[in-house]
């Protein structure tokens, strides 16, 4: 089975600083890769996804992520944090060879300090 | 489309009672997932349906939990009898259609068993 590892359950940055949230997956075959965001008392919303093609993908709210096959990583970045970015972020993979199951990381809570 | 619709949004019940959570997936989607989210265990996949058929229920914690998908537009997750440790947020998600890549989440049902 796939595994998804998110380094750091809590990340704190200052407003305007770079946001970097780390995600590594276990598959040797590139799966589909996703980042979701969850605001308090809400469901998960898709931020961005990688399926095929360009390895640098852009999402909503200025976020982007780069798929690096050699590192089995899909780190999420944003050049300048905004207070509204405070939320929990989940990395997920879809295993195309195992009934298209989704596997989620444990989540990273992002705190943005004024 | 209105997205994935879950009901109720909040449920408070007494220990030992039966609880039924409901989900209407996005029209045209052929995959449906039930997840449970808690502080301690994060986001756990309980069961996964494809074309209304349960594919993987290995995440269902006990026989007290059961899920059905009688048709493509409706699914239920039942807990009988409920226990305080079942208190969590339960999410339904669906996926499918032409692109069949990401999962779309409902707003969740917050279950409290007292």
Which of B79, B54, B57, B80 minimizes the C-alpha distance to B69? Answer: B54
Task: Determine how many CB atoms are found less than 10 A away from the CB of residue B61.
Answer: 13
B98 or B30, higher pLDDT: B30
CA A1 to chain centre: 19
* Distance in angstroms (rounded) separating the CA atoms of residues B90 and B111: 7
Inform me whether the pLDDT recorded for B5 exceeds 90: yes
What confidence tens digit (pLDDT) does each residue in B41-84 have? 889 999 999 999 999 999 998 899 999 999 999 999 999 999 99
Which of A107, A114, A113, A112 minimizes the C-alpha distance to A37? Answer: A107
Give the C-alpha distances (Å, rounded to integers) separating B48 from A58, A98, A100, B5: 29, 12, 10, 17
Give the C-alpha distances (Å, rounded to integers) separating B96 from A61, A105, B1: 25, 22, 14
Question: pLDDT tier at A52 (50, 70, 90 boundaries)?
Answer: confident
Residues A11, A67 contacting (CB under 8 angstroms): no
What confidence tens digit (pLDDT) does each residue in B75-97 have? 999 999 999 999 999 999 999 86
Q: Percent of chain A scored above 90 by pLDDT?
A: 74
State the average pLDDT for chain A.
92
Tokens of A15: 């407003």
Inform me whether the pLDDT recorded for A99 exceeds 70: no
Inform me whether the pLDDT recorded for B98 exceeds 90: no
- Return the pLDDT at B35: 96
Closest CA of chain A from B104, distance in Å = 7
- Return the pLDDT at B100: 67
CA B2 to chain centre: 17
State the average pLDDT for chain B.
93
Q: What are phi and psi of B36, to 5 degrees?
A: -125, 135
Query: Once rounded to an integer, what is the mean pLDDT over residues A63-73?
Result: 94
- Considering only CB atoms, B56 lies closest to which of A49, A94, A101, namely A101
CB contacts of B108 in chain A (<8 Å) are 42-43
CA angle at residue A54 from A72 to A2, to 5 degrees?
Answer: 30
Query: Once rounded to an integer, what is the mean pLDDT over residues A17-37?
Result: 90
CB contacts of B35 in chain A (<8 Å) are 104
């Amino acid at each position: 089975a796939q595994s998804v590892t998110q380094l750091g359950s809590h990340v704190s940055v200052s407003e305007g600083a770079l946001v970097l949230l780390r995600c590594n997956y276990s598959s040797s075959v590139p799966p589909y890769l996703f980042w979701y965001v969850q605001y308090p008392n809400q469901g998960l919303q898709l931020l961005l996804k990688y399926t095929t093609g360009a390895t640098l993908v852009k999402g909503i709210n200025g976020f982007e992520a780069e798929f690096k096959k050699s590192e089995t990583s899909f780190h999420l970045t944003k050049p300048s944090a905004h207070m509204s970015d405070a939320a929990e972020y989940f990395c997920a993979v879809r295993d195309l060879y195992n009934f298209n199951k989704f596997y989620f990381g444990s989540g990273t809570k992002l705190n943005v300090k004024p | 489309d209105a997205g994935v619709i879950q009901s109720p949004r909040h449920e408070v019940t007494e220990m030992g009672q039966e609880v039924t959570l409901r989900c209407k997936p996005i029209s045209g989607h052929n995959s449906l997932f039930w997840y449970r989210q808690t502080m301690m265990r994060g986001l756990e996949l309980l069961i996964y349906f494809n074309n209304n058929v349960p594919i993987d229920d290995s995440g269902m914690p006990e026989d007290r939990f059961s899920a059905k998908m009688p048709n493509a537009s409706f699914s239920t997750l039942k807990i009988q009898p409920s226990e305080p440790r079942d208190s969590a947020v339960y999410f339904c998600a669906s996926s499918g259609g032409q692109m069949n890549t990401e999962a779309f989440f409902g707003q969740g049902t917050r279950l409290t068993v007292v």
